[in-house]
């Protein structure tokens, strides 16, 4: 079945450590997105990528980094510079950036203590 | 930038009652509109979308929504609530744009948590 996978489902890290969240899709979609979700705040866009080897900052990119070396993969690194990293992180993809709906992965819940 | 307002962060209904979740948006160009549903600790699933054409859009699980341009609204309804409808619902808007454009990204509302009482 085609879809988006995110791993792991739950992730725990100590403060000051970088951590990388995985996102893989086999939908052959060009565009991929990372969102952060906090209670009562909806989804906020961190980074997005329209095509391989290209990505742009979203609304809350500070303290995060991404890469897009392969079409199917869009990993997100939460760096130690991110002041409040504990959150639910969602990866999504769409056929291309534009007016098409986005398909979401199951999410990764990151807890930093 | 676009903005999406979902009126009511929590809505409670009895099983069998009408479900009405409100969404208003701001957009300077004709928007594309979406409703997503999220069950606890899961990703978002598309319920329905409006792009062009008929303003009353039917989605999965008996939900529908009507695009009202004059009111800049896209409210979600379901005639009869079921226990399985309990979830969080997100309205999203995408403005026009194509490949290579920064337009077309999705802007999400803050979500409405739907509780269904037996």
Residue-wise pLDDT tens digits, A68-108? 999 999 999 999 888 899 999 999 999 876 657 899 999 99
Report which of A99, A110, A101, A94 is spatially closest to residue A28, judged by C-alpha positions.
A94
Decide which of A53 and A40 is more confident.
A53
Predicted pLDDT at B41: 85
Burial status of residue B104 (CB atoms within 10 A of its CB: 0-12, 13-18, 19 or more): buried
DSSP string, A46-87: EEEEEETTEEEE-TT-TTEEE--SBTTB--EEE-TT-S---E
Mark out chain A residues that contact chain B at CB-CB < 8 A: 4, 6, 9, 30, 40-43, 45, 48, 50, 56, 58, 88, 90, 92, 96-99, 101-107, 109
List, for chain B, all residue ranges whose pLDDT scores fall below the cut of 70. 1, 28, 95-104
Q: What is the pLDDT of residues A5-14, one digit of tens each?
A: 999 999 999 9
Contacts of A24 in chain B (CB under 8 A): none
pLDDT value of residue A1: 64
pLDDT score for A96 = 77
Look at residue B1 in the predicted model and tell me its pLDDT: 67
* Whole-Å CA distances, A104 to A17, A23, B45, B80: 27, 10, 7, 27
pLDDT at B80 (0 to 100): 97
pLDDT above 50 (res A60): yes
Q: What is the distance in angstroms between the Cα of B17 and the nearest Cα belonging to chain A?
A: 25
Residue reference for tokens 């565009």: A31
Nearest C-alpha of chain B: how many angstroms from A62?
A: 19
CB B96 within 8 A of CB A99: yes
- What pLDDT was estimated at residue A98? 67
In this predicted structure, the answer to whether residue A44 has a pLDDT above a threshold of 90 is yes
A105/B46 Cβ within 8 A: no
pLDDT at B59: 95
Quote the pLDDT of residue B100: 47
Tokens of B104: 């077309």
Q: What is the pLDDT of residue B103?
A: 52
- B96 half-sphere exposure, CB direction, 13 A CA radius: 4
Peptide bond into A50 cis (omega under 30): no
Q: Which residues of A touch B106 (CB under 8 A)?
A: 45, 102
Task: Kindly determine whether residue B99 and residue A98, on different chains, have CB atoms separated by under 8 Å.
Answer: yes
**Tokens for B35?**
């409703």
């Amino acid at each position: 079945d085609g879809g988006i996978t995110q791993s792991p489902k739950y992730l725990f890290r100590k403060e000051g450590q970088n951590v990388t969240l995985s996102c893989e899709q086999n939908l052959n979609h060009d565009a991929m997105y990372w969102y952060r979700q906090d209670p009562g705040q909806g989804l906020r866009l961190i980074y997005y990528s329209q095509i391989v080897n290209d990505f742009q900052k979203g609304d809350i990119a500070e303290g995060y980094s991404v890469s897009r070396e392969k079409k199917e993969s869009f990993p997100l690194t939460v760096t130690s510079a991110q002041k409040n990293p504990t959150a639910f992180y969602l990866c999504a993809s769409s056929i291309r950036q534009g007016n098409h709906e986005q398909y979401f992965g199951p999410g990764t819940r990151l807890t930093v203590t | 930038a676009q903005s999406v307002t979902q009126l009511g962060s929590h809505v409670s209904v009895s099983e069998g009652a009408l479900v009405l979740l409100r969404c208003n948006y701001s957009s300077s160009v004709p928007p594309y509109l979406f409703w997503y549903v999220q069950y606890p600790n899961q990703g978002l699933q598309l319920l329905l979308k409006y792009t062009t054409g008929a303003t009353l859009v039917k989605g999965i699980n008996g939900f529908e929504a009507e695009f009202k341009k004059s009111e800049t609204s896209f409210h979600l309804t379901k005639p009869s609530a079921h226990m399985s409808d309990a979830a969080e619902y997100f309205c999203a808007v995408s403005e026009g744009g194509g490949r290579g454009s920064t337009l077309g990204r999705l802007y999400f509302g803050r979500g409405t948590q739907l509780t269904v009482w037996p």
